[in-house]
Structure 1
Amino acid sequence: MAIASVLLSGCSTTKRLGKDDILYTGLKGVEIKTPDKQKFPSDVRSSLTEAVSVKPNNSLLGSASVRYPFPLGLWVYNNWPNPPQGLKHWIYEKLASEPVLVADVRPEVRVHMLDQILDNNGYFSGTSSYELVQKRNKKKASILYKIEAGRPYMIDSIVLLPDTVLLNHIIDSVARKSKYFQLGSRYSTDSLAALRVDIANAVRNRGYYFFRPDYIQYLADSTINKGNIALKLDIADNLPPMALNRYRTGDITTYIYRNRGGGIPDTTETAKGTLIRYLPSRLRDGLIPSCIAFREGRTFSVRQMNATQTRLARLGIFNNININVIPDTLRKNDNLLNVVIECTYDKPLEASVEANVSSKSNSYLGPGVTLGLTNRNLFGGGELLTVSLTGAYEWQTGSGRHNSVFNSYEVGLNATLAFPRLLAPRFIPRSRRELSWTKISLGADLLNRPHYFKLSQFNAGLSYDWQSSKYISNTFTLFKLTYNKLQHTTPVFDSIMNANPAIALSFQSQYIPQMSYSFVYDRTMRKNTINVQFTLQEAGNVFWSIYELCGKKGEKTLFRTPFSQFVKGYAQVVYGRRLGGNHWLVSRLGSGAAYAYGNSSQVPYSEQFYCGGANSVRAFTVRSIGPGSYRAPADQINGYFDQTGTFTFIANTEYRFPILGPLHGAVFLDAGNVWTLKNEPSRPGGQLRAKTFFKDLALGTGVGLRFDISMLVIRGDLGIGIHAPYDTGKRGYYNMESFKKSLAFHLAIGYPF
């Protein structure tokens, strides 16, 4: 009632302002003029805008320029009495917002900040000013900042250090490789500061541990050539003697403390120094030395310190790791640094309860809960045992004829034992910078699709994860055995299977003994990102070969149940290009195929491809298109099961751009479909054929919103169909039945690719 009365009274937002006070209503803009309309650097523009971005009252999502239309806090502040106590006082304190005044923003001070930013980026002749933008109410004003940038000062000469000692040589070599520190580059103090850091990192990795970025200085002269800068790189006069010394690694001592403290110290000499651990504790011999990158007597490197810290942390068994470096005072002339590493065990057992909302590639969205128990150091070598009980309820997003039918639940019990090393031959190339893992898994899941079937699945596997370089990761599944058991079906589901024998075969109870290899190349550069991945998978070939060698002909079984035999592969490339600022154009191209033979006539349903949904062609719901030009009969609402295939092609491109704060937008174009490699009379038009390939591609466009808070991305995409691969009764390439029926909305978590 109190709030309503305030809203209805036509309240003023400036009633309590002083005579000379002006309410700040936001940043009107930053106008930047350059000579001859030269392009102004986007990073400098961002710095200038950030310096004057002050949030007004009722700011929308933290914006300095956009406000929501109902300034409740100002209304209450200006029109609501504030008694010393009671309900009205409580309401006032909760709702009132003190006005942000132009005087609080201090635009004259911010103009000086703009001038400083211009100077720091080479625009020494630039000038800044501001003006108040007012409308009828002179008690309110936004602020417009105006900048005359002038011409930037460029670097026209560079003088490096004399190449007389090793330290100078290292510094000069880093400076020469710098993309910024070149003739013709615009003067920028930020770039010079970044070069300082690069130089310090390089020399500290070459033994000069006590060298700091502050010990590099620049002498700039703009009088030699007007409008340009002559730069000289030099070493600071206040450089301490220790910074000039090149150190080697001395004694290495590692302490392993118990989580609860105390214990009896046990000292062991290793190839990586002295190891002192407090008993009782469970620690495999050689584990700690394998994580230490230092070598006694070798040149000291900060990179080795970071690598040691990272390797110990990735074991997951310590809650605190400290590495201290101490000059050896007993052997001063040797320039040695003694290393002391202190590690404290984490609690070995951890129980967790995790509630989540999952978003899957098949457009299923729903809540779930996971109960987990973890042992972080099962055998004393950082082995990770995880047991989890999972339950989830899901429903399909996206408009269409299937979106309300397939609500499901799933429960599962899974256990994984992970060893932080490869229990495999040493000829496999691997990176010492990353931990390699050997994983043994065992699990059981129950999937219930109401009105259709109940499927149980049991699986066991052995896999290896390792990185062969900084950008390349590998997963090799040496063995994975999956058993699918169709426990219960409904008459509706049975009718579908009877009408589609090929689909029925893919659903039969069977074993799937698999072996697979996955490769991922992932690299992020300043203006580009690229992700290349492919997976090769085979099933049943080893078992089939053994049976053949033993003379077994015909259908082969495992524990009296047929096993599947097929090969499958999938590859995709995702490329991102920064267009400027936080604007990106991201594209994906992917294709895959699966082929059953020998002991199987059909690829298992779970291993087939599908198209449509939140991460595919977003103008169509999941499994609503394909294979090829096939379309399920109109009276068959469960054509969902028909619309998978053994060959897929997908192409997407998406323009991503910022809107306001964490809110981002996207405009996208998707194309793709699935096909069958074999002719199936029950699904006419589904077989892959070159002459109809492009006609069979579904095409859609659309727009989307993303709420990106770094750790979590919530995504909503509205797809708009342009071309359906099946007969819709409409002529021409644009053959959607109607605009309304061409729409599909998807709510998902994470980016689509």
Structure 2
Amino acid sequence: MKAILKYKSSYYFPILLFFLSLLLGVSSCSTTKYVGEDEYLLNKVIVKTDDRSVPTSDLKKNIKQKSNLKILGTWRFHLGLYNLSGKDKSKGFNRWLRRIGEEPVIYEDFQTKRSVAQLQLYMKKKGYYNAVIKDSVAFKKKKAKVYYTITANEPYRYRKLYHQLDELPYNFLSPSQKLSEMSDSTLVRGFVNEDKKDTKLKQGKKVDSDVLGEERMRIFKMLKNQGYFNFSREYIHFMMDSTKKDHQMDVFVGLKKPLNEKATKKYRINKVKILTEYDPKLILMNDSIYLSELDTLVHKNVEFIYRNKLKIKPDVILSSILIKKGDLYNLNSVSQSYSRLQQLNQFKFVNINFDEDTKANDDEYGNLNCVIQLSPHNLQFYSFELEGTNSSGNIGFAGNLNYQHKNLFGGAEVLDVQLSTARENVKSSEQTNFSSSEYGIVSKLSIPKFLLPFFDAEKFRKSYNPRTIFSLSYNFQKRPDYTRTIADASFGYFWKSSKYLQHTFNLIELNFVDVKDLSEDFLNDIDNLYIQNSFTDHVIATTRYSVTYNDQNINLPRNYNYLRLSAEVAGNTLKTIDNILGRSKRNDYDSEGNLEGTYHDFLGIRYAQYVKGDIEYRFNQYINRANNMVYRVFFGIGYPYGNLEVLPFEKSYFSGGANGIRAWQARSLGPGSYVDEGATYPNNTADLKIEANLEYRFKLFWALEGALFLDAGNIWAISKKDDRKGADFKFDRFYEEIALGTGFGTRVDLNFILFRLDLGLKLRDPSRVGNERWIIAKRPFKFNQLTFNIGIGYPF
């Protein structure tokens, strides 16, 4: 009884009791509760094929009737919610359960036949013209299991590819078909023939209608980029012949003669007009006041039509537009102009129209007038935010006052200023809490140019549309164990080299850190001299570069990859300047007044010197609309040297917390097998970090989601001056010091924000000895062994 009362006193108990009751209730319901007498619940759909080159996942997309959603591959949670409802649909609770649940899927023979036909069509699209699809159904206890067995047989492959009429074998085309084709002498046919080296149709590859569609789109875009404004995809077609070719096909890339001769005529840009304050509502109303206030400015052969005053410098707008007077029409230039104008962050609406100029007298080329319509955002924006916070598992609140000016100096410069205050309760290793307060201001100025002295960045700007970013910030932190002030100034660049690849290069970042009022308890906890040095006043002057690849499409649920590489170096520039100027070093004394060494300073403060690099990879596997699997690996290492032979505290690695290994509190894990049982404040940091995470995410009901996770990793020291026992990284033992934790999480996804609660449980603790490290089955379970983490957003 005492044990039960003890568990009830835990704040975990109501949460766990609710979910346990819910899960037991859902699982206890019969899955066939609402299946009629002569009906069968579609229990499972199995698709088998004898050709492994055809993905089963793609085949399943063609199945017309799928079984109810499952969690963990077996548990029909959503069907269980539906079955919890009573038969009286008039009751609100029953209607709510049916709305958030999923109605049972009743087997239909008609849908099975449709699926067979769809699978047959899909196999033909992929080149398997002789594929055989058979279906069978097994009925048992009001449940049906459907099998689709596919015998693929030998696929058809491309043998020869033809791009010109005079290359074709005799009788490949009928006389009427030849008459409907563009002749080999046309410029359009010539461009397609010259471009055949980039074709997606390759000899020996399987015939694939999707690839044919991609080839049609490639040819269409190529011709559009050559100036053929009126050319249509409908003119591109493919003729194939497989007669007596033993599962092979010859393919002719056909180009039909267009009915309209303008389709084969190139077009040049005649005029460019830009409406910088376009209001579609007032235009449609033919508002006389609005139209009377419009004025025109001609700048670099471009007409700017504006209202009262041109708010953005013309050169800034022109730098984002690749459509120039006298150039041939180019589809890529139009697409890139759309993207660049939107990235200026000045316009809520961008539209580019082309009208044929019939008055122009040019027999060789057609002429287009380009009209670009821009509807501006409001220039200034204010907001106030009050939110709960989670900093590595420590709970608190924060208030932010935000101000943004989108066009500070008339050149699309975006100024962001944020005033912030925060307070949080921080857990110590003794499960006691203490308060931490924080105040700060951050200002950032983003300029749509690549500002770099003595360097002509015009070509780079046109290719990558970079931004130059200046940043200033000040932050004051007050804790019972110490007070810290951080001032930061940075200057750098941001650009995208492709759709998925973005770069950040901070040319210089100065970080001033002032640490005061270190408590005696805190100093006693970190009696290691190496760690104490990381809490001294210091300056960090870094150059940092990072590149990120992210192919996620938020509008299309599918697998995606995320890869981030970053590197930074600190102190070398200041060190070089000191050596050139021959500046003398300062003496460094310990707390007892003994000389420890010498160092250089910057503005009277010792500066750090180190190199550091990180790599992080994530893979999100989309299973279905209710299930996702996420994998993450991280490796980071920092090496201090020279002027400050420790990594500064804010640049060191730590583990544990809501975004790491969630079975441990933030900064309480490691390094290695090091144990500091007397420490009151968890502040374990080190120079190297290895971490891996596996998380299975599933949707429950409404905005509620669930997750099961497994985390592994640790941190280690690589500096020989760090003498913490068991903290150093050794190749022959580091794998024995990997911590392992698991747990269960819930999320509430409100679209604009996601709240997260994770309960972590230790499986393997590297701070223990030998066989005692596997602790999951070697101690009685208690609720206080769970580590409670609250977060905003997904952990990764």
* TM-score range normalised by the length of the shorter chain: 0.7 to 0.9
Counterpart of 2:685? 644
Greater CA deviation, 713-722 or 218-227?
Answer: 713-722
**SS of equivalent to 1:224:** coil
Counterpart of 1:380? 410
Gaps of 5+ in 1: 83-87
CA distance in 2, matches of 1:474, 1:339: 34
Q: Do structure 1's residue 22 and structure 2's residue 66 form an aligned pair?
A: no
Q: Is the 8 A contact 2:64 2:114 kept in 1?
A: no
- What amino acid sits opposite 1:438 in the alignment? T
Q: Pick one of 449, 452, 456 that aligns with 1:424.
A: 452
Q: Do structure 1's residue 153 and structure 2's residue 156 form an aligned pair?
A: yes
- Is the alpha carbon distance of 1:619 and 1:94 closer, same or farther for their aligned partners in structure 2, counting shifts above 3 Å? closer
Q: Is the 8 A contact 1:447 1:454 kept in 2?
A: yes
- What amino acid sits opposite 2:651 in the alignment? E
CA distance in 1, matches of 2:78, 2:383: 43
**SS of equivalent to 2:61:** helix
- Is the alpha carbon distance of 1:101 and 1:164 closer, same or farther for their aligned partners in structure 2, counting shifts above 3 Å? same
Q: How far is 1:513 from its partner?
A: 5.3
Q: How far is 1:592 from its partner?
A: 1.8
- Is the alpha carbon distance of 1:485 and 1:266 closer, same or farther for their aligned partners in structure 2, counting shifts above 3 Å? farther
Q: Is the 8 A contact 2:228 2:264 kept in 1?
A: yes
- Is the alpha carbon distance of 1:571 and 1:717 closer, same or farther for their aligned partners in structure 2, counting shifts above 3 Å? farther
1:661-687: CA deviation from partner (whole Å, max 9, x where unpaired): 999999978555332535256x45656
Q: Do structure 1's residue 68 and structure 2's residue 77 form an aligned pair?
A: yes
Q: Pick one of 325, 330, 333 that aligns with 1:296.
A: 325
Q: Do structure 1's residue 438 and structure 2's residue 468 form an aligned pair?
A: yes
**SS of equivalent to 2:446:** strand
1:542-573: CA deviation from partner (whole Å, max 9, x where unpaired): 79839966778657999998413122221234
Counterpart of 1:338? 369
Counterpart of 1:31? 47
Q: How far is 1:324 from its partner?
A: 0.5
Q: Is the 8 A contact 1:431 1:469 kept in 2?
A: no
Q: Pick one of 187, 198, 218 that aligns with 1:177.
A: 198
- Is the alpha carbon distance of 1:152 and 1:164 closer, same or farther for their aligned partners in structure 2, counting shifts above 3 Å? same
Q: Is the 8 A contact 1:13 1:75 kept in 2?
A: no
CA distance in 2, matches of 1:457, 1:104: 69
Q: Do structure 1's residue 315 and structure 2's residue 353 form an aligned pair?
A: no
Q: Do structure 1's residue 203 and structure 2's residue 223 form an aligned pair?
A: yes
* Correspondence list, 1:212-231, <5 A: 212-231=232-251
CA distance in 2, matches of 1:619, 1:609: 17
Counterpart of 2:719? 677
* Correspondence list, 1:100-249, <5 A: 100-103=105-108, 106-137=111-142, 141-162=144-165, 164-179=185-200, 181-238=201-258, 240-249=260-269
- Is the alpha carbon distance of 1:391 and 1:220 closer, same or farther for their aligned partners in structure 2, counting shifts above 3 Å? farther
Q: Percent identity between the aligned chains?
A: 21
How many positions carry a matched residue from both structures? Answer: 707
CA distance in 2, matches of 1:719, 1:433: 50
CA distance in 1, matches of 2:716, 2:84: 58
Q: Is the 8 A contact 1:668 1:703 kept in 2?
A: yes
Q: How far is 1:302 from its partner?
A: 0.9
Q: How far is 1:716 from its partner?
A: 6.2
Q: Do structure 1's residue 695 and structure 2's residue 733 form an aligned pair?
A: yes
**SS of equivalent to 1:207:** coil
Q: Is the 8 A contact 1:515 1:538 kept in 2?
A: yes
1:130-174: CA deviation from partner (whole Å, max 9, x where unpaired): 44432234xx54544343333322223322235644422433455
* Correspondence list, 1:158-557, <5 A: 158-162=161-165, 164-179=185-200, 181-238=201-258, 240-257=260-277, 262=290, 264-271=293-300, 273-331=302-360, 332-333=362-363, 334-354=365-385, 368-392=398-422, 401=429, 405=433, 408=436, 410-425=438-453, 427=455, 430-449=460-479, 451-466=480-495, 471=501, 473-486=503-516, 488-496=517-525, 499-508=527-536, 510=537, 512=539, 514-520=541-547, 522=549, 531-538=564-571, 541=574, 545=578
1:527-552: CA deviation from partner (whole Å, max 9, x where unpaired): 98754331222289279839966778
Q: How far is 1:418 from its partner?
A: 2.0
- What amino acid sits opposite 2:124 in the alignment? D
Q: Is the 8 A contact 2:29 2:84 kept in 1?
A: no
- What amino acid sits opposite 1:648 in the alignment? L
**SS of equivalent to 2:510:** strand
RMSD: 4.8
- Is the alpha carbon distance of 1:644 and 1:472 closer, same or farther for their aligned partners in structure 2, counting shifts above 3 Å? same
Greater CA deviation, 380-389 or 456-465?
Answer: 456-465
Q: How far is 1:304 from its partner?
A: 0.8
Q: How far is 1:256 from its partner?
A: 0.9
Counterpart of 1:604? 648
Gaps of 5+ in 2: 1-21, 166-183, 283-289, 553-558, 589-597, 780-784
CA distance in 1, matches of 2:202, 2:630: 28
- Is the alpha carbon distance of 1:699 and 1:15 closer, same or farther for their aligned partners in structure 2, counting shifts above 3 Å? closer
Q: Is the 8 A contact 1:612 1:618 kept in 2?
A: yes
Q: Is the 8 A contact 2:757 2:788 kept in 1?
A: no
**SS of equivalent to 1:102:** coil
Counterpart of 2:770? 730
CA distance in 2, matches of 1:12, 1:694: 53
CA distance in 1, matches of 2:638, 2:369: 55
Counterpart of 1:49? 60
Q: TM-score, normalised by structure 2?
A: 0.74
1:378-423: CA deviation from partner (whole Å, max 9, x where unpaired): 21111111122334566789xx947765775544332222222233
CA distance in 2, matches of 1:505, 1:192: 65
- Is the alpha carbon distance of 1:392 and 1:135 closer, same or farther for their aligned partners in structure 2, counting shifts above 3 Å? farther
Counterpart of 1:85? none
- What amino acid sits opposite 1:31 in the alignment? V
CA distance in 1, matches of 2:373, 2:267: 22
